[in-house]
Structure 1
Amino acid sequence: MWQQRELRLAPRSRGFHLITGEVAEGVSGLAEVSIGLLHLQLLHTSASLTLNENADPDVRHDLDAFLRERIPGDLPYFRHTLEGPDDMPAHVCASLLGTQLNLAVRDGRLALGTWQGIWLGEHRDHGGSRRLIATLQGE
């Protein structure tokens, strides 16, 4: 079985946001799959996807603080500045963290570890809504 859907995520503030529930709810065929894979591809270059801590929001805060300190918007060698001081740092963060995830599916659910959740990294101050392509393969 193959299924592909485009999911739209509401605009979010800069930082990391737990989106596991939105993804699981948005992939309607997930419950029918006993064994499979879900591939997520974010259709943007200034946001990211990653798998990390799903319980303590301080982890999301701390990773955002870490990246902002190491990739500030005022680096003198950035040339791509027409879209604002947050744009080039957003591209760097998206490249470092990635825009795709492959996740195991088992018994109609995402096979995540106890403390794992899917994060959207919004790296722009005003990034707007985001789109994901979710491709489910399984039996």
Structure 2
Amino acid sequence: MHIHHEKLEIRTNGKGLYEITDGIQAKIDECGVRNGTVTVFVQHTSCSVTIMENADPTARRDLEEFLDRLVPEDADYFSHGSEGSDDMPSHIRMVLTRTSETVPIVDGRMQLGTWQGIFLFEHRRAVHLRKISITIIGEWVGKVGSAGDWGQSPLP
């Protein structure tokens, strides 16, 4: 069993769902894990990661509109607003969604359903550079960039 850590940076153009499935699969391909899991974790408090339908863009639009209604911007009951009227709503949206997703890997491929994709869900209006931590755990087959990329499991 091996552990591999990667980073992915995504520049967002404001609120929306940004598919990152291919970028994550590329990291799996590069490190050569055959079977295991991949965990995707976003290192921010105003965006999230979710598994969502990736075929019909109206499903993504409906989700965004639902959260806009559930947690409206410019609400007069928010005290925290030092970074703008969309800041506190973005924190609430992050709490209501997820900061990580874990997906099984079998034969080198993520085991997502036919219509599933992994998305960075940006909750702020402004452009941001988002950092995503990717942890791949599994059986390694192939080469790795350097020996330091992998850590042995402490378990026998």
Q: TM-score range by the shorter chain?
A: over 0.9
Matches within 5 A, 1:70-85: 70-85=70-85
1:122 corresponds to: 122
* Secondary structure, counterpart of 1:44 in structure 2: coil
Which structure has the larger Rg?
Answer: 2
* Secondary structure, counterpart of 2:105 in structure 1: strand
Matches within 5 A, 1:55-66: 55-66=55-66
- In 1, are the aligned partners of 2:11 and 2:127 still within 8 Å (CA)? no
1:21 corresponds to: 22
| TM-fit CA distance, 1:12 | 2.9
* Secondary structure, counterpart of 1:80 in structure 2: coil
- In 2, are the aligned partners of 1:42 and 1:132 still within 8 Å (CA)? yes
- In 2, are the aligned partners of 1:12 and 1:129 still within 8 Å (CA)? no
TM-score by length of structure 2 reads: 0.83
2:147 corresponds to: none
- In 1, are the aligned partners of 2:35 and 2:107 still within 8 Å (CA)? yes
Question: Structure 1 pair 48/127, CA: closer, same or farther in 2 (3 Å)?
Answer: farther
Q: CA RMSD in A?
A: 1.2
How many residue pairs get aligned? The number is 137
Q: Which runs of 4+ in 1 moved over 3 A?
A: none
- In 2, are the aligned partners of 1:17 and 1:60 still within 8 Å (CA)? no
2:142 corresponds to: none
Instruction: List gaps (5 residues or longer) in structure 2.
Output: 140-156
TM-score by length of structure 1 reads: 0.93
1:101 corresponds to: 101
